[in-house]
Amino acid sequence: MINTDLLFEKLSKSKFRSRFHLSPKDFDYINTKGLEVIRNHALDFITKRLAPSIITNDGKQTPMRGHPVFIAQHATATCCRGCLEKWHHITKGKELTPLEINYIVDVIMTYIKKEINNQKIK
């Protein structure tokens, strides 16, 4: 796991990662549900979709739309075990630890909060 400031700097330089942004519909959903519920959704998605040691559909388990957490996962390279290994140095083929899960959820929520702050500036 790496420093999140450094991570977000690197992600901003990736043409693929930097193209993801929350939509007005995503912001409405976040405002309706609240950040704590969104955090719980992120924890649930990571625990079910990324935490197991073996994922049969790895690389395809995170949709590209439909929930703000999914967008955040692609933007932060927390969408599959391959991306977790490449960007976050979290090894594939082993079950995620609670510390790793919390780190991933924190990264996702940091991205969502940055998007909210950027929206307010516009």
- Domain chopping of the chain, boundaries: 4-121
Whether the Cβ atoms of residue 79 and residue 20 lie closer than 8 Å to each other: no
Backbone CA torsion sign across 51, 53, 59, 60: negative
pLDDT in tens, 65-86: 889 999 999 999 999 999 999 9
pLDDT at 80: 94
pTM confidence score: 0.91
pLDDT digits (tens, 9 = 90+) for 74-117: 999 999 999 999 999 999 999 999 999 999 999 999 999 999 98
Annotate 24-58 with DSSP letters as a single string.
Answer: HHHHHHHHHH-HHHHHHHHHHHHHHHTSSS--TTT
